[in-house]
Every structure is written in C-alpha cells, then in structure tokens.
Amino acid sequence: MSDKLKIGISIGDVNGIGLEIIIKTLADSKIYDYCTPIVYGHTKVASFHRRATQVNELNFLVINDPSQTHFRKPNMINCWEEDVKIDIGQVTEAGGKYAFKSLERAVYDLKEGYIDALVTAPINKDNIQNDKFHFPGHTEYLQQYDGAAESLMFLVSDTLRVGVVTGHIPVSKIAESITAEKILAKLKLMNTSLQNDFWVRKPKIAVLGLNPHAGDNGLIGSEEKDIIIPAIEEARSNNILAFGPYSADGFFANGTYLQFDAVLAMYHDQGLIPFKQIAFETGVNFTAGLSFVRTSPDHGTAYDIAGKNQASEISFREALFTAIHIVKNRKEGLELNENPLLFSKLSRDRD
C-alpha cells in the first residue's frame, strides 16, 4: 500500500467549483486503487461544499503532513486555522487569499518530494495576486518556483495535444513576443515531454502559423517566413520532426491535427479554443518542462454554477489520472535507463 502515489490537490478559489469537483472525484472509491489523494485546504470549507454536492458519505481524514497519510481514504491538510467567509459564486479577496494558502503549501510539499504530483483546482487569476504571487497563472508561478528556464502550457487529451509559444499575455504583445529561439525552445520541451511523459518514441509535431492563412507567402505578414519557418528548420536539424506552418482554421476544421502527436500554437486562444471545442470535458492542462508533475482541469472557477451541484468532475478526474500516468512513465523511464543493456556484435561463427 505504501507504494501508492501520493497526489496533492490544491482547492483553488473557495467560492468557485474547485471543491465541488474534488469531492465528486474522490467520492468514487476506485480512485484509491490508483493513488492516495491529499487535499490542501480546510475541513470546514470542504464541509460547506460537501453539503452542496450532497456527497454525505465522503469524510476527510485530517493529517499534519504527507507522512501521516491514510491509504484508501481522502486526506486533508488544514492550511489555516481561522474561519473563512464563503460567498459562493462571488469574486472576493478571501477567495484569492485561501486559494494561495492552499497552493503555497501544496507546491512546497511537491518540490520537497513529500507528494508525487500536484493537481490544481481553478484559481481566479486576479484575486489571487499578492506579494508572493504576481503571475498571470499557475504555469508561470510553478516555473519560477521550480527554477526552470522554460515551461510549456500543454493541453492534452486522448485525441489532441496542444502547446503554446506565448501564454498569458495581451494579444497586442503576441507578435513582438514570438522569436525563432522561443519557438525552438518550446518545440524541444514538447518533443522531450512527448517522449518521456507520454512515451511517444518519435513524435510528429505540427506548428501553426501566426497570421491568417499562415501568412500567404508574406502577403499577410512576414512572421512565418522570417521567424516560424527558420525555427522549424532548426528543429528538424535537431532531430525533431516538426512540420508547418499550418493555417490554424483549416488545420483543425479538416482534422489534420489527427495526423500529429502534438500541435504547437503561437498564442493562447489559437490553441485553446479548438482544444476546448474538441476535448472540453476530457481535456487536461499539464505544465511540461518542470522537475515535478502538475496537472489541472482545462476550465476555470465557473462562478456562475458554483454551489448549484451542476459542475462536471470529468476534466478534474482526467487531470488526476493524467498526473498518475505521467509520474509512472517518468519513473519507469528512469528505471529502464539506469542499467541499459550493453551493445555487442553477434559473431558470424556458429557452434
């Protein structure tokens, strides 16, 4: 039993759907065949949401740290002592404050190796801002915490994987932020992640253009000819099977994405809109390029349905199983490469 992976879960905004989808996921007893979940939050807040979801049989066991984990049970680490005012469906200062307290403690345990992976419930990117969190999202915060030079927002599902060159930045700054060096760095991260995290031996990666119709040979912008194509050529010289640039609209509309193992989009909405249209309920956000594993559902706080017992837990459950899958792939990959078989020529002589 001690071999079961310990998966940390941060609760996100207490006024959103985070705890609802967490509770609905952990109410399924089959989850405990694959991992031991540890939720970072507070039992009083969880009780409020449990009543709303009418999952009365789920009881969290309070522990002080992951070493006290109870297997086959949902565990809870109380990350604060004071009572929290819940204004369900509202954007409040408290919502951001306690979302960060949960995240901060969970990420510390993750980085220290006390838990094997982290699944993050949705935050509000505005009210979570504070002296310690001045980032546009989880991805950038985790990258700095890990000390990684680069990271990749990687949306994954059974049928489609999409990464982005630029993430949470204003649309007006996209073109000036795209460079051949950045595209190449993202392609290297994506290629390595596909090999190590998803065990795709020789990944085929499609690269989208920036402009409509991928620039139409320079008629609608020069970024494809000046930046994107040179980056693709450099990637291929580094043994990365990158192809493109493709016009984003036709690429997704005619199903060309099915011919590739992953797609690199130039900016957030270019990649995430088609991804969510194709794989909304089953999609998972994975932060590739870090020393640890973090996933999340591919949706937000959904204040409009918070507290109404209407939120689907499918994407969160997929995020949990994706985290387990990636951790196991990484561990098995390390074990296989620890003592590789030595190559030796076979003799032509026969006994």
Residue 159: how many CB atoms within 10 A of its CB?
13
Together in a domain, 248 and 264: yes
Domain range for residue 199? 149-283
Contact 304, 89 (CB under 8 A): yes
Together in a domain, 135 and 62: yes
d(CA 294, CA 298): 13
- pLDDT tens digit sequence for 230-272: 999 999 999 999 999 999 999 999 999 999 999 999 999 999 9
Q: Number of structural domains, the chain?
A: 2
Indicate whether 350 pLDDT > 90.
Answer: no
Together in a domain, 129 and 155: no
343 located within any domain: no
Indicate whether 3 pLDDT > 80.
Answer: no
Indicate whether 344 pLDDT > 60.
Answer: no
Mean pLDDT in residue range 210-239 = 94
Query: Residue 46 belongs to a domain with what CATH number?
Result: 3.40.718.10
Indicate whether 337 pLDDT > 80.
Answer: no
Together in a domain, 132 and 200: no
Residue 351 binned pLDDT confidence (cut-offs 50, 70, 90):
very low
Residue 308: how many CB atoms within 10 A of its CB?
14
Mean pLDDT in residue range 203-211 = 97
345 located within any domain: no
13 located within any domain: yes
Dihedral sign for Cα 344, 348, 349, 351, please. Answer: positive
Together in a domain, 192 and 132: no
d(CA 158, CA 51): 33
Mean pLDDT in residue range 343-348 = 53
Together in a domain, 301 and 234: no
Together in a domain, 104 and 62: yes
Give a three-class secondary structure readout of the chain.
Answer: CCCCEEEEEECCCCCCCHHHHHHHHHCCHHHHHCEEEEEEECHHHHHHHHHHHCCCCCCCEEECCHHHCCCCCCEEEECCCCCCCCCCCCCCHHHHHHHHHHHHHHHHHHHCCCCCEEEECCCCCCCCCCCCCCCCCHHHHHHHHHCCCCCEEEEECCCCEEEECCCCCCHHHHHHHCCHHHHHHHHHHHHHHHHHCCCCCCCEEEEECCCHHHHCCCCCCCHHHHHHHHHHHHHHHCCCEEEEEECHHHHHHCCHHHHCCEEEECCHHHHHHHHHHHHCCCCEEEEECCCCCEEEECCCCCHHHCCCCCCCCHHHHHHHHHHHHHHHHHHHHHHHHHCCCCCCCCCCCCC
Together in a domain, 214 and 315: no
d(CA 199, CA 232): 22
Together in a domain, 181 and 267: yes
347 located within any domain: no
Residue 68 token pair: 């006290």
54 located within any domain: yes
Together in a domain, 4 and 125: yes
Of the candidates 23, 31, 22, the one whose C-alpha atom is nearest the C-alpha of residue 4 is 31
Contact 235, 242 (CB under 8 A): yes
Mean pLDDT in residue range 1-9 = 84
- pLDDT tens digit sequence for 281-310: 899 999 999 999 999 999 999 999 999 999
Last-in-domain residue among 283, 299, 325: 283
Indicate whether 343 pLDDT > 70.
Answer: no
The distance from CA 33 to its chain's CA centroid, rounded to whole angstroms, is 22
Residue 171 token pair: 């649309």
d(CA 294, CA 120): 7
351 located within any domain: no
Residue 138 token pair: 């989880």
Together in a domain, 174 and 195: yes
Residue 107 token pair: 């990420």
Least confident of 35-44, 269-278, 328-337: 328-337
